[in-house]
């Protein structure tokens, strides 16, 4: 097959299928619904594979992502974000709600009141976001009931509660973050009940903590990254290199200084580098290699003394954070073993 | 004026003009040519302002960027990158060379031989890249002459030498990196002369080191970031907040945990965080504020005890690294004081 010019993102379709069906089977076995976060791939073809494998709907982060997927026939969408609605955003959500069952996140009485007013009669529901330890957005679990009551009084029906245990992105926090999630959601459910409300949905999950999720409590899981994996999951120990389904194909452009210089810079891989990351990304077939310097169009690799692949040859780079890598390109190249098929990153750049 | 939905990138046109003309005047005063790196803005309107102010041509990083600007009439383009040419890339460069004076970077005999063969008769020239201390790409200065001879023998005419003093991106390295640049380029010029070649162009420059450039030696400067500035320049002390011409307008979506939560995440700002950065970005009008947590759609801000702007209000965020922020959007909104005019990021995502 003729390869595109590098750098480009390549999806290993066999690995993708294996992960999607395996994760769906584990969720089904645990009796919990799967609502994958499609911000990771922003790709209609992949979201369809997830639904075909049993996902009940999709999670998105923005109104723009909701629009793209609703337009492609996805009819159950949760915007897992504490939206502040302008009149224009509310009109766009009303349009989406004509075609899909739709819910949004809420974590303040101000935003709930505004959404209740601007979305009245649209059928859009809300989930109250609680903070379980990431300390990003979300109310304290004990405040969930009061916010839910305020939302309902403002005309915004509350479907349940959700959280994101994002502090799972740290070594040794995979299990403890899931315990935090369970504790926070238990308290949030109790808070709703004390306020006279019964949540239909108790939603959580993240790729690092997924195996530790309290599936007796949670009714749905919203992992995103699991679908591809990345160097963060590799380094956290949650996915093996042999599970990683997306790489950035890169060309060796130089051997300057006795090191490998690749054309996969931060404009192809993203510039994410978590505190626990061992470099700017990994090489799939060179586990000892590290990207020691990453600029916009250069990745300088220390190969740990191994022989340098020749100038002009190609290697597979694993981005640190796949969500940001995907958002940099318009096309994923799906490799099914026979051909490279272009899949559109339909929701790329849909930040609003 | 009606504002677009947040997050969006806003350009202060008055500041942009002031920086472009000021930098051009200083270069002219020092008798050195300016060839701005347009990877920073990827925007035809801004490149035209730079040429109007006296720039002799433009610098790009990729064949795709060269194509976009050549198509818009830019007729003097330098691809400051050690390209490894496929047949397809060579064909694209030949097409660009029909419309523009064109040069590419070279830092290995392998790439020089290939370019000489594939670009024969096209008129495309080369500049030999030397490493002056960034340790990214580029040959040792003393090897520049041998590589230049090899390139010319392969049929690739050598216009001169270039370097990028990227190690200027560190506190206290602004002047020393320019000294390294001067030393390396002096040695490279000597190496070419020893090989019987006389360079027409001696090219260098970076925004942090710009004021320290050896303009007696250098014939051209290639800064990129100077046009907008960003939090890196602010924190390096090379640009004041009042010079910063690009911000990300963001909405306060939450006060979770008593902090400011903005909708300008890493998918709007980029995830760059240099070792010297004090956070994930700055707030233009709150110099004591720091982005203490940045995820894809959340920027959590510690305001240092100042009162929180209300939920639903908007603030101006300064990205850490403006080049990567611009590459995430298709549109810059140019604010001339009267209206917001959309400027296309025409070369966004042109990595190949």
A252 CA to centre of own chain:
30
**CA atoms of B325 and A75, how far apart (whole Å):** 32
Give per-residue burial for A180-217: e unless 16+ CB within 10 Å, then b: bbbebbebbbebbeebebebebbbbbbbbbbebbbbee
Q: Where are the alpha helices (DSSP H) in chain B?
A: 13-30, 44-52, 63-71, 87-97, 109-118, 144-153, 174-194, 231-236, 266-269, 322-326
Query: Which residues fall within 8 angstroms of residue B94, CB to CB, at 6 or more apart?
Result: B119, B122, B124
Considering CB atoms only, which of A61, A89, A296 is closest to B5?
A89
**Residue tagged 């002390």 (tokens):** B237
Query: What's the token pair of residue B335?
Result: 């604010």
Q: Given this model, what pLDDT does residue A243 score?
A: 97
CB < 8 Å to A117, chain B: none
CB B314 within 8 A of CB B244: no
Tell me the average pLDDT across B3-28.
Answer: 98
Residue from A271, A269, A258, A249 nearest A302 by CA: A258
Q: Where are the alpha helices (DSSP H) in B125-274?
A: 144-153, 174-194, 231-236, 266-269
CB A264 within 8 A of CB A199: no
Question: What's the half-sphere exposure (Cβ side, CA atoms, 13 Å) at A95?
Answer: 14
CB contact under 8 A, A321 and B271: yes
CB < 8 Å to B107, chain A: 254, 256
Three-class DSSP category at B171? coil
Residue from A233, A87, A93 nearest A171 by CA: A233
Q: How close does chain B come to A299, measured CA to CA in Å?
A: 8
The pLDDT tens digits for B335-349 are 999 999 999 999 999
Q: Given this model, what pLDDT does residue B1 score?
A: 62
Residue of B nearest to A298 (CA): B136
CB count in 10 Å sphere of residue B153: 12
Q: Given this model, what pLDDT does residue A2 score?
A: 77
CB < 8 Å to A7, chain B: 351-352
**CA atoms of A239 and A230, how far apart (whole Å):** 8
CB < 8 Å to A251, chain B: 84
* DSSP-assigned states of every residue in B17-31: HHHHHHHHHHHHHHT
The pLDDT tens digits for B227-251 are 999 999 999 999 999 999 999 999 9
Considering CB atoms only, which of B81, B295, B330 is closest to A166?
B295
**CA atoms of B330 and B347, how far apart (whole Å):** 9
Helix (H) or strand (E) holding B4: none
CB contact under 8 A, A111 and B136: no
The yes/no answer on whether domain A62-223 falls in CATH 1.20.1090.10 is: no
Residue from A63, A156, A159 nearest A114 by CA: A156
Give per-residue burial for B236-259: e unless 16+ CB within 10 Å, then b: bebbeeebbbbbbbbbbbbbbeeb
In sequence order, the β-bridge partners of residue B125 are B103
User: What does R_g of chain A's alpha carbons equal in angstroms?
Assistant: 21
Q: Given this model, what pLDDT does residue A1 score?
A: 62
Most A CBs within 10 A among B141, B351, B352, hence the mutation to make, goes to B351
Beta strands B260-262; B299-302: pairing state: antiparallel
* DSSP-assigned states of every residue in A266-288: HHHH-----TT-SSS-EETTBTT
User: What does R_g of chain B's alpha carbons equal in angstroms?
Assistant: 21
CB contact under 8 A, B253 and A39: no
The yes/no answer on whether domain B232-320 falls in CATH 2.40.37.20 is: yes
Query: Which residues fall within 8 angstroms of residue B331, CB to CB, at 6 or more apart?
Result: B8, B9, B342, B343, B344, B345
CB A37 within 8 A of CB A265: no
CB contact under 8 A, B261 and A8: no
CB A126 within 8 A of CB A103: yes
* DSSP-assigned states of every residue in B315-344: EEEE-S-HHHHHTT-SEEEEE-SS-EEEEE
Most B CBs within 10 A among A84, A269, A300, A333, hence the mutation to make, goes to A84
CB contact under 8 A, A82 and B295: no
B213 CA to centre of own chain:
16
CB A89 within 8 A of CB A63: yes
Q: Supply the ipTM of this predicted assembly.
A: 0.98
Q: Where are the alpha helices (DSSP H) in A242-330?
A: 266-269, 322-326
CB B302 within 8 A of CB A321: no
**Residue-range domain boundaries for chain B:** 13-227, 232-320
Considering CB atoms only, which of A256, A349, A351 is closest to B139?
A256
CB contact under 8 A, B82 and A251: no
CB contact under 8 A, A324 and B267: yes
* DSSP-assigned states of every residue in A61-109: SSHHHHHHHHHTT--EEEEEEE----HHHHHHHHHHHTTSEEEEEE-SH
Compute mean pLDDT per 10 residues along chain A, 352 residues long, and list them. 92 98 98 98 98 98 98 98 98 98 98 98 98 98 98 98 97 97 98 98 98 98 98 98 98 97 98 98 97 98 94 98 98 97 98 96
CB contact under 8 A, B297 and A61: yes
CB contact under 8 A, A110 and B311: yes
CB < 8 Å to A108, chain B: 254-256, 311
Considering CB atoms only, which of A131, A254, A329 is closest to B137?
A254
CB count in 10 Å sphere of residue A174: 21
Q: Given this model, what pLDDT does residue A158 score?
A: 98
Query: What's the token pair of residue A230?
Result: 């990345």
Residue from A67, A279, A324 nearest B328 by CA: A324
**CA atoms of A74 and A43, how far apart (whole Å):** 12
Residue from B276, B281, B191, B275 nearest B241 by CA: B281
Across all residues in chain B, what is the average pLDDT? 97
CB contact under 8 A, A253 and B110: no
Question: What's the half-sphere exposure (Cβ side, CA atoms, 13 Å) at A189?
Answer: 15
Q: Higher model confidence: residue A2 or residue B192?
A: B192
CB count in 10 Å sphere of residue A339: 10
Can you say whether residue A196 is alpha, beta or left, with left for phi > 0 and alpha for psi between -120 and 50 degrees? Answer: left
Report the predicted TM-score, pTM, of the whole model to 2 decimal places: 0.98
Query: Which residues fall within 8 angstroms of residue B150, CB to CB, at 6 or more apart?
Result: B109, B112, B113
For the domain made up of A232-344, give the CATH fold: Lyase, Ornithine Decarboxylase; Chain A, domain 1 (2.40.37)
In sequence order, the β-bridge partners of residue A252 are A262
CB contact under 8 A, B330 and A349: yes
**DSSP classification of residue B139:** B
State the CATH class of domain B13-227: alpha beta
**CA atoms of A217 and A215, how far apart (whole Å):** 5
Beta strands B314-318; B246-254: pairing state: antiparallel
Q: Given this model, what pLDDT does residue B2 score?
A: 77
CB contact under 8 A, B261 and A61: no
Tell me the average pLDDT across B204-220.
Answer: 98
Is pLDDT at B37 greater than 80 in this prediction?
A: yes
CB contact under 8 A, A166 and B255: no
Considering CB atoms only, which of B137, B300, B324 is closest to A256?
B137
CB A84 within 8 A of CB A90: no
Is pLDDT at B30 greater than 90 in this prediction?
A: yes
Considering CB atoms only, which of B136, B267, B352 is closest to A351?
B267
Q: Given this model, what pLDDT does residue B78 score?
A: 98
Residue from B7, B11, B87 nearest B247 by CA: B11
| Bond from prior residue into A7 cis (ω within 30 degrees of 0) | yes
């Amino acid at each position: 097959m003729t390869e595109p010019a590098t750098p480009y993102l390549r999806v290993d379709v066999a690995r993708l299928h294996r992960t999607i069906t395996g994760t769906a089977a584990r969720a089904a076995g645990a009796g919990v619904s799967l609502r994958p976060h499609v911000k990771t791939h922003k790709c209609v073809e992949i979201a369809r594979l997830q639904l075909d494998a049993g996902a009940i709907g999709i999670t998105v982060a923005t109104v723009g992502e909701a629009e793209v997927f609703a337009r492609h026939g996805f009819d159950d969408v949760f915007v897992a974000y504490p939206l502040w609605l302008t009149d224009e955003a509310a009109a766009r959500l009303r349009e989406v709600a004509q075609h899909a069952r739709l819910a949004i996140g809420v974590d303040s009485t101000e935003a709930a009141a505004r959404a209740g007013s601007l979305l009245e009669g649209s059928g859009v529901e809300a989930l109250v976001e609680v903070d379980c330890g990431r300390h990003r957005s979300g109310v304290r679990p004990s405040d969930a009931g009061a916010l839910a009551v305020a939302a309902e009084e403002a005309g915004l029906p509350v479907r349940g509660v959700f959280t994101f245990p994002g502090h799972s992105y740290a070594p040794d926090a995979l299990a403890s973050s899931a315990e935090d999630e369970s504790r926070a959601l238990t308290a949030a459910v109790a808070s709703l009940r004390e306020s006279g409300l019964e949540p239909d949905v108790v939603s959580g999950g993240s790729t690092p903590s997924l195996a530790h999720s309290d599936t007796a409590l949670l009714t749905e899981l919203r992992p995103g990254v699991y679908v591809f994996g990345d160097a963060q999951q590799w380094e956290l120990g949650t996915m093996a290199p042999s599970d990683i389904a997306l790489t950035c194909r890169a060309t060796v452009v130089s051997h300057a200084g006795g090191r490998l210089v690749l054309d996969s810079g931060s404009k192809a891989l993203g510039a994410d580098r978590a505190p626990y990351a061992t470099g700017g990304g990994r090489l799939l077939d060179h586990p000892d290699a590290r990207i020691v310097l990453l600029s916009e169009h250069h990745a300088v690799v220390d190969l740990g003394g191994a022989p340098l692949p020749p100038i002009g040859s190609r290697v597979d780079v694993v981005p640190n954070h796949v969500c940001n890598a995907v958002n940099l390109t318009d096309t994923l190249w799906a490799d099914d073993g026979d051909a490279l098929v272009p899949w559109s990153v339909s929701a790329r750049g849909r930040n609003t």
